[in-house]
Structure 1
Amino acid sequence: MLRHTALFLGYELRFLLRNPIWPVFGILQPVMYLIFFAPLLGSTTPSGSMADVLAMFTPGSMMMIALFGSLFAGFGLINETRNGVLERLAVSPAWPPAIILGRVAKDMLVLVLQAILVMGVAMLMGLRIGVIAFVVMLGLMAMTGLFAASLSYGLALALRDENGMSQIVQFFAMPLTLIAGLFLPVSLGPEWLQTAAKFNPLYYGVEAGRALFRDDLSNSTIPTAFGLLGALAVITLIWSMRSLRKMAG
């Protein structure tokens, strides 16, 4: 099991190294938001300092990477399904779930590296974060990426059509990000928006990230975020692996 997963992970990483442009572009938008948008938010924090603004804004930028970077991971799987590559892999002697697990592991690794780079830029701008909070935030990013990537692969195997998948992803991604309070805390909005946000698992990830960046490690949103996103990750991962097994007959 582990050997086959490692083999597929190595294959995916080698393919990524031959075409690294998408992971690079994946961090450009959050970095530009940090540089050009975050300085405008001084009035949204009590002190108005850049450090407090970054502690509020950076977690949302990182969740943007986790969501959008991973939700579109399944499009490559549709192309491989159409070309017959995935079917040949699925009926090979390799352990079938390793095909999905290797891809998901690659997505999580890339996501963590992107998160480190974004936090590095934020630190250069004045962000201060403890080592424990830094590591826990990376774990939260990986968990979010696992959920989003597994969901993307499950949708790709179920739909097998780029147009249909694109419409579904775009339809749900935008309201999820807005209700999660990625750019501004939901607490600044009306009461109905705050109520709606509590039904969005991404909201808890953003709030947990902000608690970590405030060095509030005992905040209840942190275990809640890990619990919700972890459960969703397990459900979507099992779904995507069963979909692949079904395709292999």
Structure 2
Amino acid sequence: MTFVRDTWLIFARQMQLLLRNPVWVLVGVFQPVMYLLLFAPLLKPALQVQTDAEAYRIFVPGLLVLLAIFGGLFQGFGLIAELRAGVIERSRVTPVSRIALLLGRSLRDMVSLIAQAVIITLLALVFDLRVFIGDLLLAFLMLALISLMTSAVSYGVALLVKSEDALAPLMNTVAQPVLLLSGILLPLTFAPGWLQGIADWNPFSWAVNGTRALFVGDLGDPAVWQGLLIMAVLAVAAIVWAARLFARSVR
């Protein structure tokens, strides 16, 4: 119960800070909105589908996964600022659980991501996107797991490098091949066989395929539970790893 209380206290505090300056939620969603408005209309002829709705059912899930990956991987910059300001150092004198210090922040990032995903989904409805609410909630669960995992990784790396100059190129170096090999912008069914074989080792490609299956209403597609399982395992592993680094940093 103490751990749950501590996590809630950290989460509530982080949410207060976010709500005081909610413009960052809108800033984070700006680039995906540009993709939605300026790139997605090109997909109907490119994908050779009959309607815009079909094109958006393929593109929007990938766009949401992109938002979850990038939104999580760059959360470490805020933690580096806290390290420099002595916030983490002062945490040593508090009785708050060390894991809660990490998990509360990651849950804040997850809530922010879901809010952005709702905005993107609502905008996509204007372009005839249709998805059942139950399938959409499962898709949001997939995004939440991705956000928890990527933000925990970002916090862990930030604790190791302790420098924005090192964190930025490192995260970009990791993010670019991961994104290109996950079929976010275009399905990898259009890719040559060797590229599809490499992509099978990318966990995010399973998440993208599962999210796309949910958006077309195919709840029975094995990619759905496979993607959820992979993301859940990776999220737990990332949180445990980052929490150990967090505990070591505030002893």
TM-score w.r.t. length of structure 2: 0.96
**Equivalent-residue separation in structure 1 for 2:78 and 2:31 (angstroms):** 22
Report Cα offsets for 1:30-74 as digits up to 9, x if no partner: 111111111111124453300000000001110111011111111
Instruction: Tell me the equivalent position of 1:54.
Output: 56
Percent sequence identity is 35
Q: Verify the 8 A CA contact 1:108 1:146 in the aligned structure 2.
A: yes
1:91-146 superposed Cα distances (whole Å, 9 cap, x missing partner): 31111211111101101111111111111111111001011111101101101101
After superposition, residues 214-229 of structure 1 pair within 5 angstroms as 214-229=216-231
Q: Does 2:117 match 1:118?
A: no
Q: 2:205 aligns with which of 179, 203, 206?
A: 203
The match for 2:71 is 69
Query: What are the Cα deviations for residues 192-248 of structure 1, in whole angstroms up to 9, with x where unaligned?
Result: 111111111111111111111111101111111111111111111011111111122
Render the CA deviation track for 1:126-167: whole Å, top value 9, x for unaligned: 001011111101101101101111111111111111111111
Please give the alpha-carbon distance, in whole angstroms, between the structure 1 residues aligned to 2:101 and 2:126: 38
Residue number among 7, 10, 19 corresponding to 2:9 in the alignment: 7
Counterpart among 145, 156, 166 of residue 143 in structure 1: 145
122, 126, 129: which one pairs with 1:127?
129
SS in 1 for 2:95: coil
Confirm or deny that 1:182 pairs with 2:184. yes
Conserved? CA contact 1:104–1:149, under 8 Å: yes
Q: CA deviation at 1:82?
A: 2.0
Aligned equivalents of 1:61, 1:42: Cα separation in 2: 16
In structure 1, how many angstroms separate the alpha carbons of the residues matched to 2:87 and 2:6? Answer: 17
In the TM superposition, what is the alpha-carbon distance from 1:90 to its structure 2 partner? 3.5
Measured in 1, the distance between the counterparts of 2:36 and 2:67 equals 13
Aligned partners of 1:97 and 1:245 also within 8 Å: yes
Which runs of structure 2 are paired with 1:83-98 in the superposition (5 Å)?
83-98=85-100
Task: Look up the equivalent residue of 1:92 and give its one-letter code.
Answer: T
Unaligned runs of 5+ in 1: none
For this pair of structures, how many residues does the alignment match? 249
Answer whether contact 2:88 2:250 (CA < 8 A) is retained: no
Q: 2:166 maps to what in 1?
A: 164
In the alignment, is the contact (CA less than 8 A) between 2:106 and 2:151 conserved in 1? yes
| RMSD after superposition | 1.1
Confirm or deny that 1:105 pairs with 2:107: yes
Q: CA deviation at 1:182?
A: 0.8
Between the aligned partners of 1:49 and 1:222, the Cα distance in structure 2 is: 24
**Amino acid paired to 1:87:** E
Structure 2: gaps spanning 5 or more residues: none
Contact 2:102 2:242 in 1 (8 A): yes
